Amino acid sequence: MTSTWSAAGPAHEPHPDRTEERGDERTRLRTAELAVERLQAERDNLESIVVRLGAVAGRLDAEEVARGITEAVREMTGAPLAMFVPAEVSEFKKLVVVCEPGLLGRLPDPASAPLLGGALWRVTPLRLDDAAQWGTGQHQYGQTNDGRTFRSWVGAPVRARYGDALGVLFLAHYRAYAFGQREEELAQGLAAQLGASLDNLALFQERARVAGALQQTLLPPSIPDIPGLEVATRYRPAKSAAQVGGDFYDVVEVRPGVWGLLLGDVTGVGPEAAALTGVARYAARALVCQVASPASLLAQLNDTLVHFDLQEKFCTALYAELHAVDKGGFRLKLANAGHPYPFIVRADGEVEEVHTQGTLLGLLPNICVEQRELVLRTGDMFVCYTDGVSEARSPDGELFGAEGLARVLPQCAGLKASAAARRIELSVLEYQAGGAPDDMAIIVLHA
């Protein structure tokens, strides 16, 4: 019997038990790696869903919100089918149904008991483990494209902030007893989020309607015709449709051959700004026939606003009287109370900024207002605006400013008043690459 030797000593065959141990260890290691990979994939998927839910909550379309959350609950629970059924089906063009591609053959009838009726008025989700236990009428629970019935159901009630029933968020599976407590809790949590989102959206839309209606009362219903003068206005509210802005304007006949132009801006937005805007506009309209000059009108308007104890709120205003001139054109008497300076665009394209100093309205009992007289000859334009124009910012944060407006105005020479006002508005919107963060009002007079 011989032995094989090496420099390190005699060679031995691996022990069978140790080989098995190494194999078991590799198997355990691979199993652990697969478990970690599954957990990583689940975490990544959950992160993706959470990010999408955040974006969904900010949408302004009820069906888009409902679809986004319905898709999320299907992915998180692994249900082959999920759908949202509003309590009033007429509120949506169709049911929101999300399922595996090519799965659905026959759409379930959510109005059939015990689905919608059973789940709608509950506080906690309704779970139906096997629709087959309900006897005949299996078709009401829908079918897959290969004829299988949706047997397992979870119906989570969707409620508004004060308990009003908005609908039901459903999960369905073609296998019996497919859902448990985890799926119920997930459905209930996302149903609560859907209810809050739909409730907030309805509240926002109602506020937007009220704000829009209120804003219309703060602007003149129409601009009167002035012989020998084109008058164009552009008004664009801020991005937030649910907030009433503080910009206002008016054009009124003071007496035969004399017209008054008022443009103002109240600080802030919302109900307080709207109240002050209404006071300023209607007080000025009542004063125009009683005062001797634009400076007097602004002084009396200030007296009115000071009595309202506005505290930190104030108002800027520009008021001009337009007197028709026999040979054509207009003579302007102009007073300014802290408002952005207007411009005159001459017929030949020359642009002049009209500097008129004045104190803000509503802060001090006594104000100092400068008054100037200008001549608007045939072909000339008078352009005034609120700070939504001058304070517009580019994506880099740069102000549009009066300088930006002065660059645009030469292009307006020779245009109709309406075309010039629209060109100014588009220039501002293009500069800030989107909707206005502040109200914007523009008035153009073309002799």
Same domain, 163 and 238: no
Residue 314 structure tokens: 């104030």
pLDDT band at 249 (very low <50, low <70, confident <90, very high): confident
What is the Cα gyration radius of the chain?
A: 35
For residue range 45-91, list pLDDT tens digits in order: 555 556 565 556 666 678 888 888 888 888 888 899 998 888 875 55
410 backbone dihedrals φ, ψ, rounded to 5°: -60, -30
What's the CATH code of the domain at 119? 3.30.450.40
User: Residue 74: inside a domain, yes or no?
Assistant: yes
Of the candidates 173, 188, 210, which is a domain's last residue?
A: 210
3 backbone dihedrals φ, ψ, rounded to 5°: -120, 150
Asked whether residue 39 carries a pLDDT value surpassing 70, the answer given is no
Same domain, 146 and 282: no
Residue 352 structure tokens: 């002049």
Burial 241-266 (b: 16+ CB within 10 A, else e): bbbbbbbbbbbeebeeebbbbbbbbb
Asked whether residue 113 carries a pLDDT value surpassing 60, the answer given is no
**Domain range holding 133?**
58-210
Of the candidates 210, 237, 260, which is a domain's last residue?
A: 210
User: Residue 183: inside a domain, yes or no?
Assistant: yes
Same domain, 188 and 102: yes
For residue range 151-189, list pLDDT tens digits in order: 888 989 988 877 788 888 899 998 999 999 999 998 898
305 and 361 in contact (C-beta within 8 Å)? yes
Which residue did the predictor score with more confidence, 260 or 134? 260
> How is 146-198 classified by DSSP, letter by letter?
TS-B--EEEEEEEE-TTS-EEEEEEEEESSTT---HHHHHHHHHHHHHHHHHH
For residue range 209-242, list pLDDT tens digits in order: 655 555 565 566 678 888 999 999 888 876 654 4
Burial 147-179 (b: 16+ CB within 10 A, else e): eebbbbbbbbbbbeeeeebbbbbbbbbbeeebb
Same domain, 203 and 67: yes
Same domain, 232 and 182: no
Same domain, 287 and 402: yes
Same domain, 234 and 115: no
Same domain, 137 and 233: no
Q: Give the residue among 197, 205, 365, 218 at the shortest CA–CA distance from 282.
A: 218
Could you tell me if residue 387 is left (phi over 0), alpha (psi between -120 and 50 degrees) or otherwise beta? alpha
- Average the pLDDT over 352-371 and give the result: 88
pLDDT at 132: 78
Same domain, 82 and 126: yes
- Average the pLDDT over 145-155 and give the result: 87
Tell me, what DSSP letter sits at residue 225? P
